[in-house]
Chains A and B, each alone.
Chain A
Amino acid sequence: MIESTLPIGVPLLLLGGAIVTVGAGLVRRSAAWPITLVVLVLSALVSVRQLLVVLAEGPLTHRLGGWPPPIGIEFAVDGLSAFVTSVVVVIALLVLLYARDAVRRETPEEEVPFFALLQVLLLGLTGMVLTGDLFNLYVFFEISSLAGYALVGLGSREAPVSAFRYLLLGSLGASFYLMGVGYLYVLTGSLNMADVASILPGLIGNPTLTIAMTMMVAGLSLKMALFPLHGWLPDAYTYASSTATAVIAPIMTKVSAYVLIRVLFFVCDPALRATIPVGSTVAWLAATGIVVGSVMAIAQSDVKRMLAYSSVAQVAYIGVGIGLGTPFALIGATLHILSHATMKSCLFLVTGSVQLQTGRRSLHSYEGLGRVMPWTFAGFTLAALAMIGIPPTAGFFSKWYLVLGGINAGEWPIVLIVVASSLLTAGYFFRLMEKIYANPSPSLKANDPGMLARISIMALGAGVLVLGVANFWFVGEVLQPALPATLRLTGM
């Protein structure tokens, strides 16, 4: 019975956690953080346990209301969804450690709704990952989006404007997705992913199907900030409060990427995919996005905005992997979900700490910080090296698999872009690094943030390295079994 409730364990914990947080917050405001911490620790335990069980025993399902699919809603967990859930929850937990002091200083009066919405956000994201129902996914999509808009809107004076734009575009994306689901429903009469997947092959050749898939991909790409639909992201990340950015930036776009994988590779079967030119379009747009995002990042003078544009580029790597769709490319994409989540959260936590300590955010003002905040910037350096793709960090290996995937697919220009983009990334990170370490700034008064924040930054920094070295354990044990058999490497 415990096993069968695992798939809904994390969402229910977070749902209950949000309710309890608000309820307790009515009585005592400072209870919000500890409750959230407990909920997230439990969620992390459940998600990791779920991952282990899934790896050992195969997919788990939970039929809500006891109704078999396609009558009711089914939560179906396979390796991939268990993996992404764990990534989401664990990264969020680490950011939460940082969040206690940051939220108290940045938004002292909104502690309760902030932490409640944080859990709502995670509820939405984990729900999206775990559900096996296309429409249920839309509901969770919107739950996470609403929480996201609010968290983004709570920042500097400009934040509401960027949040409002995000809201318009996000709703547009969700609506496109819903429209796609609508077409699929009209064509198949079902909303359950597995059921739809079994009906779709009979519909090959129907022009509406192509457009339905295009709508879904477009909607998800918007949410994922895949070029050219990335317009909302830089402002949103730049103006949001540091904790909000550190939660949203690493995981929100990744979950959309996960859904894209789910739709393209689990709902569509290979024969169907062959008739729809979505894959190569996504790959090429994403490759363009890598270049555009990196070049824009170089042009920025605000560190947070630079990281935001770098997110556009990094998400595009995942897009390239999804678009290429070869076994190696998919490994690259899924591994990059994890590695980018780790390194980007680390980077944003550092910029947040710097902003809290010194109020600085421009590239120029980072001079000499390496000396006064040694631990923080040790983590930053590791994460930055991973972003560039220096071995043996995690960032290197995800790009490595993408390169192998590109070579397998024979897409040489994309291989070239993936490889050469590392140089652009190196361009903006080494410029910053030089300022951080080589320019002494004697008047600087700052030091490493408190113990909790330091732990989370260091853990993420170390994680980047450990993930890189142990990447193959991950690929072999987690990512490979999680993909459909036709998309696995041969001989594994």
Chain B
Amino acid sequence: MKQVSIFVLILLGAVLLAAGNGLPLFGDPHAPAAKHVSDHYIEHAYHDAHTPNFVTVMIADYRSFDTLGETMVVFAAGMACLLLLRGHVRRRGGVVLPPIVHRDDSIITDLVTRAMVPVIQIFALYVVFHGHYSPGGGFQGGALLAGSVLLVRVVLGQDRSNPIFPVSWGTPFGVAGLAIFLGVGLVALAFGGSGLQYDHLPLGLEPDMLRNWGILIAEIGVAFAVMGTLVSIFDDLSGESGEVA
């Protein structure tokens, strides 16, 4: 079996390397990928959405449906973990594991965590809101927010992290985030545009500023959804949510 696998791998490697011969050279500014659509994004993104970060414009406006899908993927993963794990221990009475999270009450980790969490969270908000101007955006910011919560979960334990972000909040946050994103799209649709066409939002601004705002709302939605879902996945995986319906 092993030999067969290695043979297959070598074969695949050879095929992939052979495929390389038809590809453009590394860094070629005139490669097809760098022309065509890419040109359009570079030339128009700033003027279309009043947002310097082309990648942000692309993911949250030009190809925002991908991002809605991506948020849905995260949400689906959250639902999947919930389906597979929550309530499983209680009902089936399988092998009950020791908690995955081991805590030693070290004063150093305790203090460092307390110091770091606000910083992380502020940085996370910065990442969300500054996504227009620098690398960043909803997913990254949401992941950072989730990270700050998880840090508290891991270091300070369930009891002390619950007041900050209760286990039962994960799913509602996910739902809310998705609803915000989808809501923007539907509002645009309702006001005569296509789905997710932000320049039809009823805010009374110029189209490029409307898109700017639309992108921001979408990013906030993504941040909510990602934060809620990632925390809930962690809770499901660590078994912490087992007692909460």
Task: Determine which of A67, A142, A185 lies in contact with B73 in the assembled complex, contact meaning CB atoms within 8 Å.
Answer: A142
Contact with B along A1-23 (1 / 0, CB 8 A): 10011001000100110110011
Nearest to B176 among chain A residues (CB) is A23
In the bound complex, CA of A331 to CA of B16 (Å): 34
Interface flag for B33 (CB, 8 Å): yes
Interface flag for A110 (CB, 8 Å): yes
- The segment from A58-66, A289-297, A388-396, A448-456 that touches chain B is A58-66
In the bound complex, CA of A401 to CA of B123 (Å): 62
Q: Which residues of B are found within 8 Å of A72, using beta-carbon distances? A: 62-63
In the bound complex, CA of A2 to CA of B24 (Å): 44
Q: Which of A65, A114, A140, A151 has the most CB of B within 10 A?
A: A65
Given contacts A5-B189, A127-B69, contact A113 B79 (CB under 8 A): yes
Interface flag for B120 (CB, 8 Å): no
Contact B62 A71 (CB under 8 A): yes
Which residues 169-195 in B have Cβ within 8 Å of A in the complex?
Answer: 171-172, 174-175, 178-179, 182, 185-186, 189, 192-195
Interface flag for A146 (CB, 8 Å): yes
Which residues 351-394 in A have Cβ within 8 Å of B in the complex?
Answer: none
Contact A189 B38 (CB under 8 A): yes
Contact A207 B18 (CB under 8 A): yes
Size of A's binding interface in residues, CB under 8 A: 62
Contact B87 A211 (CB under 8 A): no
Contact B198 A65 (CB under 8 A): yes
Interface flag for B119 (CB, 8 Å): no
Contact B194 A66 (CB under 8 A): yes
Contact B62 A65 (CB under 8 A): yes
Interface flag for B31 (CB, 8 Å): yes
Interface flag for A464 (CB, 8 Å): no
In the bound complex, CA of A211 to CA of B20 (Å): 10
Contact B61 A120 (CB under 8 A): no
Contact B73 A139 (CB under 8 A): yes
Interface flag for B196 (CB, 8 Å): yes
What's the least CB distance linking A136 to chain B, in Å? 6
Contact B72 A123 (CB under 8 A): yes
In the bound complex, CA of A123 to CA of B75 (Å): 13
Given contacts A123-B72, A139-B70, A147-B76, contact A186 B31 (CB under 8 A): yes
Which residues 26-57 in B have Cβ within 8 Å of A in the complex?
Answer: 31-38, 40-41
Interface flag for A150 (CB, 8 Å): yes
Q: Which residues of A are found within 8 Å of B76, using beta-carbon distances? A: 117, 120, 124, 143, 146-147, 150
Contact with B along A168-205 (1 / 0, CB 8 A): 00000000000000010111111100000001000000
Contact A143 B73 (CB under 8 A): yes
Q: Which residues of B are found within 8 Å of A1, using beta-carbon distances? A: 192
In the bound complex, CA of A154 to CA of B86 (Å): 12
Q: Which residues of B are found within 8 Å of A15, using beta-carbon distances? A: 68, 72, 178, 182
Interface flag for A222 (CB, 8 Å): no
Q: Which residues of A are found within 8 Å of B219, using beta-carbon distances? A: none
Which residues 71-86 in B have Cβ within 8 Å of A in the complex?
Answer: 72-73, 75-77, 79-84, 86
Given contacts A71-B37, A150-B79, contact A183 B19 (CB under 8 A): yes
Nearest to B41 among chain A residues (CB) is A71
What's the least CB distance linking B171 to chain A, in Å? 6
Task: Determine which of A22, A113, A187, A189 lies in contact with B37 in the assembled complex, contact meaning CB atoms within 8 Å.
Answer: A189
Contact with B along A66-94 (1 / 0, CB 8 A): 11001111000000000000000000000
In the bound complex, CA of A404 to CA of B34 (Å): 46
Interface flag for B65 (CB, 8 Å): yes
Contact B83 A209 (CB under 8 A): no
In the bound complex, CA of A89 to CA of B8 (Å): 39
Interface flag for A309 (CB, 8 Å): no
Interface flag for B199 (CB, 8 Å): yes
Contact A73 B66 (CB under 8 A): yes
Interface flag for B91 (CB, 8 Å): yes
What's the least CB distance linking A130 to chain B, in Å? 11
CB pairs A–B below 8 angstroms (20 shown): A1-B192, A22-B175, A23-B172, A63-B194, A70-B36, A73-B65, A110-B87, A113-B86, A117-B76, A120-B72, A146-B76, A146-B80, A150-B76, A150-B81, A150-B84, A185-B33, A186-B31, A187-B23, A189-B35, A207-B21
